[in-house]
Amino acid sequence: MTRTIMAALAPKNYLAQFSSGETMNSARLRTEILSGLTVALALVPEAVAFAFVAGVHPLVGLYAAFIVGLITALIGGRPGMISGATGALAVVMVSLVAEHGVEYLFATVVLMGTIQIAAGIFRLGKFIRLVPHPVMLGFVNGLAIVIFLAQMTQFQVPGTAEASGHGMAGGEWLSGLPLIIMLALVALTMAIVWGLPKLTNAIPAPLAGIAITAAIVIVFGIDVPRVGDMASIEGGLPMFHIPSVPLTWETFQIILPYSLILAAIGLIESLLTLNLVGEIVHERGGASQECVAQGLANTVTGFFGGMGGCAMIGQSMINVKSGGRTRLSGISAALFLLAFIVVAAPLIEQIPLAALVGVMFMVVIGTFAWKSLTIMRKVPLTDAVVIVLVTVVTVMTDLATAVVVGVIVSALAYAWESASHIHAKTYKTPEGAKVYQIQGPLFFGSAHGFTELFDPANDPQRVVIDFAESKVADQSALTAIEALAGKYEQAGKKLELRHLSHDCHKLLSKAGQLIVDADDDPDYAIAANYSVRTGVLHAGH
């Protein structure tokens, strides 16, 4: 049980294992470090903004971005994926901080991390495989829209939102010449990010866009909102600090619900991002290892004054598009971010927000699954509805809710469709017996339709039900078979059941004696649990 966490924490020769099959030559080293620098620059306004959303000091968000980013980069399940403070978690923290204070938040983050470590040890991350592809498309599209909407707050007059107590939301919008300049700088950054790769790959395009735009603003003294207008990011090293909360049952009751919600949201967003990045770089990631890494990162950050975090799809996309493929890019991003806080705050605070907004807009364009707009006309209506539903719910509520809703709707749609597929071919034998050849799965959704296939009152004295082309999937199916056997027994007629699995033989009570054994009986298990790793079916009864 502890092999997952031990594997995640085992010492590694990182110089040899930074990437899969790639040699860490000087060119790769430069690309990884520059990608990390680009990500760190984009992390600053995000971490500050999410700290405002949660109602805590900006350094609480920055420390979380550093610690969570560093630990997950070192031992996470997907090299090149970026983690840090996120808006999905921040919105859950608002009421906790408002009602009980920031110390309760730190305690909650520690418990959240512990829950995530347990999820990794028990390999619960494998359940992310149950997320259908339409849900993934809706998740990607919804998150792209969320990232876009989050950038809109940068088009507000600095200081007006903070004064109203809502972070960067609810302030006065830029207008006139300031708005035109802001839009021009955003467009310039986007043009550089789009055009530079056509000329050279010597430097990550997002980093070049930020550097060139920042240089123009600083050299010409253009008056536009800058990182320092959000808040000062200057601070010291994060210090170890045990949350100052009473160690009582009452405290546990307060923080447990928040911890469970935060742990679930963090793992869902992290594992979906893990899969998304894996599809882009064509490599699989370790879901259980990522759960342990996220849990350890949050546990540590709770003791060092951070607000906790999870995988960040926007920054992960920046890293991947900038060429970051190994753990070094994530480690570099975390260390650069710490350097910004400790020694380079005055310089970083001069970077115009327009440059960072331009980079994030390009992330939005690259993240949104544009092909989903065309394939929705070709896929089944249910899949199209799920894509739109998950997108809307992601924007209106949060990612975890959207994914759960999408999975439930997809499962119900599949159950409904499968329920309509059960039917039977019938014929009579020369001896006068009537044979029902069942076709289609028999489970809770099709149990009622299965019962309606038979006519105990008018059937002949001997009836045979053949399950060779069907599969009995759950307890509802067994109950339906038992009930049908009871009806034929009441009618005084002989019923035979053929080609049922040995598992059914054991679980059927009344109808068990009606089963006719054959050499070609199937060997599946009821409520089977298929292990992708071993390829073995395990009975779930």
Q: Provide DSSP, 6-35.
A: HHHHS---HHHHSSSS----HHHHHHHHHH
The amino acid occupying position 351 is I
Q: Which of 147, 150, 153, 145 is nearest to 173 (CA)?
A: 153
Residue 283: the pLDDT is 78
Tell me the pLDDT tens digit for each residue of 98-149: 999 999 999 999 999 999 999 999 998 888 888 888 998 998 899 889 889 8
Report the chain's mean pLDDT, rounded to a whole number. Answer: 86
Q: Are residues 83 and 184 in the same domain?
A: yes
Q: Is 106 domain-assigned?
A: yes
Q: Is 317 domain-assigned?
A: yes
Q: Is 14 domain-assigned?
A: no
Residue 171: the pLDDT is 66
Query: Which stretches of the chain score pLDDT less than 70?
Result: 1-24, 158-171, 509-513, 519-520, 524-541
Phi-psi group of 526: left, alpha or beta (phi > 0 → left; psi -120 to 50 → alpha; rest → beta): beta
Residue 62: the pLDDT is 96
Phi then psi for 491, rounded to 5 degrees?
Answer: -80, 0
Q: Is 413 domain-assigned?
A: no
Domain count, the chain: 2
Tell me the pLDDT tens digit for each residue of 377-419: 888 899 999 999 999 998 888 777 898 899 999 989 888 888 8
Residue 173 · residue 155 · CB < 8 Å: yes
105 contact partners, CB below 8 Å, separation of at least 6 = 54, 56, 93, 96, 97, 307
Q: Is 248 domain-assigned?
A: yes
Q: Are residues 461 and 332 in the same domain?
A: no
Q: Are residues 67 and 216 in the same domain?
A: yes
Domain end point (choices 374, 399, 430): 374
Q: Which domain holds residue 314?
A: 3-8+26-148+171-230+241-374
Question: How far is 534 from 177, CA to CA, in rounded Å?
Answer: 64
**What pTM, to 2 d.p., does this model score?**
0.77
Proportion of the chain above pLDDT 90, given as a percent: 57
Q: Is 272 exposed, middle or buried (0-12, 13-18, 19+ CB in 10 A)?
A: buried
CATH code for the domain of 518: 3.30.750.24
In the chain, the largest separation of any two C-alpha atoms, in whole Å, equals 99
Q: Are residues 123 and 65 in the same domain?
A: yes
Q: Kind and range of the H or E element at 482?
A: helix 475-490
Q: Is 256 domain-assigned?
A: yes
